[in-house]
Amino acid sequence: MYSFGILLLEMFTGKRPTDDIFKDDLTLHHFAKMALPDQVLEVVDPLLLDGDKEEENANSSRNQRRVHMKETKKKECLVSILGVGISCSVESPKDRMDSVDAAKQLHSIRDKFLRTGIRTQREARV
């Protein structure tokens, strides 16, 4: 489960455990854990957030509310995903999330994400 947790953190932060940023006692696990929940957007790979630039220009109050709601839901999903990665990659094997719980949580996060209609325009075109 440890490797799965690290893989999740790598995918969503765009960082590798061997990157130069991780020296001394800082690890990818600690990097992600320190960011939750308030700084999650600071550690998530910017490429995952790229599709949001077009919507940021929405100028009507209705569009602004819609964009704000989507941003809030997206942030909640990212916090949850990184939380699974962190729970799977804790140092002690007995304290790690098991694979069944990880799968259930990730399915739940996916369903919540899709239910809110949060998709980039790139996904909508496919």
pLDDT tens across 25-36, in order?
899 999 999 999
Average pLDDT over residues 95-115: 94
pLDDT in tens, 39-56: 999 999 999 887 655 555
Q: What is the pLDDT of residue 20?
A: 92
Number of structural domains the chain divides into: 1
Average pLDDT over residues 5-32: 95
Domain coverage including residue 87: 2-125
Cβ atoms within 10 Å, residue 32? 27
Q: What is the pLDDT of residue 116?
A: 62
Q: E strands within 30-106?
A: none
Q: What is the pLDDT of residue 50?
A: 72
Q: What is the pLDDT of residue 52?
A: 54
**For the chain, first and last CA: distance in Å?**
32
